[in-house]
Chain A
Amino acid sequence: MKLSKLIKSGFKNLGVNKLRTGLAILGIVIGIGSVIALVSMGEASKLAVQSQIQSIGSNLLTVSPGSQTSGAVRGAPGGATTLTNEDAEVIKISAQITTIKNVSPEYSGRIQVIAGRNNSNSQVVGVEPAYADVRKITVSYGGFITSQHVFRMSKVAVLGPSIAEDLFGENTNPVGQTIKINGNDFLVIGITKAKGGSGPTSQDDQIYIPLSTAQKQLFGVKHLTSIALEATSENVMTKAQNEVGYLLLARHKLSDPAEADFRITSQEDLLDTITSVTGTFTTLLSGVAAISLLVGGIGIMNIMLMSVTERTREIGLRKALGAKKKTIIQQFLVESIILTFIGGVIGIILGISGFYVYSQVSGSVFVVTVQSVILAFGVSVGIGILFGWYPARQAANLQPIEALKYE
């Protein structure tokens, strides 16, 4: 029997009980829709993290303090105050270090910032001029922190574009104005170019001031919160990591690398960590979505089994008129595939729309991959075949005589 006729009669049979057909389709719509939406969201967040990290630079190493160990008590990671300006200086000048191009000692903390009537608790980072090179920062207005500023402990600040907007409003040029950081007046000397991303770690939300000013005047500390290193190339990252590691171990008088009071992470490490975290979430959510898809599939099977029972006489008649097993199987499979295919199409549309709304609300990227759509189509048709197969076989195996007698 021709496929076009099977499809036509399939639509006719499914049209008989529209509510039931609609509900069966709804199950698939929800399943496919949630799979599409969740997988897309996962992909989008992965992409966002990747692009944010790539924008920071791929040959970047970050030395951060480890946990402070006093006696047998190990403190929280990052809590140590063991990383100092001297560490950074030694990395800069040591002959043992051959793979590091630039060194950027940094001290960052959250502190109150006021500009006019606007008041915010912001991330203030004390930097040296090397920061701009190492962290790939460019200035769109004015200039960046110079070594003169660091030397003189100047009260100058460079603002990220987002914080500049928060403090001074849109479309204004704050260069030349003053902001109050923790009560001290700072002259705004530059605005950095937007790098994208959001949240407290975004460079667009930070305020840069000279490192010396930050350590001595604002926070009153002698240690660093991180040292950013720019390696000479991406290929020497592991070597650079080792060189810096041994140098710092020796300086901190530690013999066992397991006792290190600092951590050296590359962008790749960070990327791996975040990717694996978002990957786990995506997998988990997709798993939940897949379960709803499974439930939808069982709904299809239920409907088809009911339909086979109701149409026993029809099946008997068809067999009496010469329908072979294959033809009966085809007829019922076509019906279940129509159900799941329609469900799949609506589900894809709803899933993508849902993801679009999410991306608008959350400000994340909106990317729909062709593969995920094709996959969703494939899965919905596959579910039609998988869950339609058993009912179709039940129908095909009916004995014509039993089926014709059935009331």
Chain B
Amino acid sequence: MSKPIISVNHLSKVYKTGDIEVKALSDVSIQINEGEFVAIMGSSGSGKSTLMHIMGALDKPTSGSYLLVGHNVESLSDDELAEIRNKKIGFVFQAFNLLARTSAIDNVKLPMDYAGYPDNEQEQRAKQVLQMVGLADRMDHSPNELSGGQQQRVAIARALVMKPAIILADEPTGNIASVQAEEIMDIFQKLNDDGHTIVMITHEEDIAEHAKRIIHLFDGKIKI
């Protein structure tokens, strides 16, 4: 039995806009173990993004508990959350979210800057992960000189560089042409084969197929 990375219990999230309450998640319980590749599927408004944000320690639940590699996330301060995100989670966003006018390698180094790694180690690790995603020859290009698929590969390299416990990918192929989307999925597949734990949000069936386990969300609840 492999150890649990994420353990979500009876999680609820309610958004308040004036007097109107919107229940984004209600009573969701999920466990994700080391080495898993999980796809969370659902239509828009199903609460999958909210779940992703809470799992990524970007947002806090209204009720319920969330354990991330043993840390009780809902009790942490903003700065402690920042440190958790820095060390334990690697984010891959739909819109890549790379810093403009900043070379690929400097984008990859950014999380290590926040962790306070020395320059030579940053250089070495950044090169290593960029090589891993097949961008060894594009390290000094800035995002606007790269294709969508290449930009997403830089983002994956950035997610990997801190050796996180889990990679959270939010619609990673949403902004990419389908041929390149396959390349991205191949990378995720390979990373999972190497032992990385991956949680991916998507609404596309053929993308979700790559995962070993699929969780369906519907109206803020898990559909079994």
Contact = CB atoms under 8 A, between A and B. Distances in A.
A1 B113 contact: yes
B158 A322 contact: no
B57 to A, nearest CB: 9
A30 B212 CA distance: 65
B97 A317 contact: yes
Main secondary structure of the interface of B (DSSP, over half): helix
A323 B82 contact: yes
Interface stretch (B32-40, B85-93, B201-209): B85-93
Contacts of B87: 322
Nearest to B81: A400
A321 B58 contact: no
B101 A322 contact: no
B97 A322 contact: no
A16 B100 CA distance: 10
A313 B116 contact: no
A12 interface: yes
Contacts of B99: 314, 317
B115 interface: yes
Contacts of B83: 322, 324
A313 B82 contact: no
A167 to B, nearest CB: 71
B110 A318 contact: yes
Interface residues of A, number: 22
B59 A401 contact: yes
Nearest to B99: A314
A5 interface: yes
B79 A324 contact: yes
Nearest to A9: B102
Nearest to A15: B101
Most interface-central of A1, A318, A320, A404 (chain B CB within 10 A):
A320
Contact of B114 (A314, A327, A399): A327
B160 to A, nearest CB: 13
Interface in A280-337: 313-314, 317-327
A5 B134 CA distance: 27
Contacts of A12: 101-102
B157 to A, nearest CB: 13
A323 B162 CA distance: 14
Contacts of A325: 78-79, 82
A324 B83 CA distance: 8
Contacts of B97: 313, 317, 320, 404
Contacts of B111: 321-322
Nearest to A13: B101
Interface in B57-82: 58-59, 78-79, 82
Given A1-B113, A400-B58, A321 B101 contact: no
Contacts of A321: 85-86, 91, 110-111, 114, 158
Give the top 7 A-B pairs by smallest Cβ distance, nearest first: A322-B86, A322-B114, A401-B58, A324-B79, A317-B97, A401-B59, A321-B111
Interface of B: 53, 56, 58-59, 78-79, 82-83, 85-87, 91, 93, 97, 99, 101-102, 110-111, 113-116, 158, 162
20 contacts: A1-B116, A2-B113, A313-B97, A318-B110, A320-B85, A320-B91, A321-B110, A322-B86, A322-B87, A322-B111, A323-B82, A323-B114, A324-B79, A326-B79, A327-B114, A400-B58, A401-B53, A401-B58, A404-B93, A404-B97
Given A1-B114, A321-B158, A324-B82, 10 more contacts: A5-B113, A314-B99, A319-B85, A320-B85, A321-B91, A322-B115, A323-B82, A323-B114, A324-B78, A324-B83
Interface of A: 1-2, 5, 12, 16, 313-314, 317-327, 399-401, 404
